[in-house]
Amino acid sequence: MDTNDSLRVASLWYSMHAISQQLSPTNGCSGIELLEVDTFDLHCFQSLTGTKFFVVCETGTQHMEALLKVIYELYMDYVLKNPFYEMEMPIRCELFDINLTTAIQKDRVALLGR
C-alpha cells in the first residue's frame, strides 16, 4: 500500500467517522470505535484533539485498543517532538518507524507466542 492509497483510505475513513457521529441514535456519540466485517476488524482511537488512529486486523484480535494507545504515545514522542515533521504531512520519521515495528512485534509475540 503506497502513500496515495493510504491517503485515500484515511480520507474515506475520516468522512465515515464524521457521518457516523451525526447519524448515531444516542446523544454524545464520539464516532466509530470498532468496525467488524467478515474478513477483518477495524479499531479506531480518537485523541482529544480529533486525530484518529485506526488499525486493520484479523477478525477477533484482542488488545487492539491498548496497541492503539501505545501507538498514540509513540506518535507524540517521535513525531510531534521532531522539528523536521510538518503537521498533516505523511510521517517519514525513522525513529517512529523503528519503534512502531518494535511495538507491533512485541504485541505479536505476546498474543500469538510467535
Partner 1 sequence: MIGTGKIKQYANVLDKPLGKGKQEVSLSAFAFLFSELVQYNQTQVDNISELETRLEDAGYAVGARVLELLCHRDKGNRRETRLLGILSFVHSTVWKVLFGKVADSLEKGTEHEDEYMISEKELLVNRFISIPKDMGTFHCGAFVAGIVKGVLENAGFPAVVTAHFVPVEGQQRPRTTILIKFAEKVLRREARLG
Toward partner 1, which CB reaches closer, 54 or 96? 96
The nearest distance, CB 90 to partner 1, in angstroms, is 12
Toward partner 1, which CB reaches closer, 63 or 69? 69
CA–CA dist 100, 114 (Å, integer) = 18
CA–CA dist 50, 104 (Å, integer) = 24
The nearest distance, CB 79 to partner 1, in angstroms, is 9
Toward partner 1, which CB reaches closer, 32 or 93? 93
- Summarize as ranges the residues that interact with partner 1 (CB under 8 A): 77-78, 80-84, 92-96, 98
CA 83 to each of CA 6, 49, 80, 87, 94: distance values in angstroms, whole numbers, following the listed order: 24, 20, 8, 10, 13
The nearest distance, CB 10 to partner 1, in angstroms, is 21
Confirm if 96 and 90 have CB atoms less than 8 A apart. Answer: no
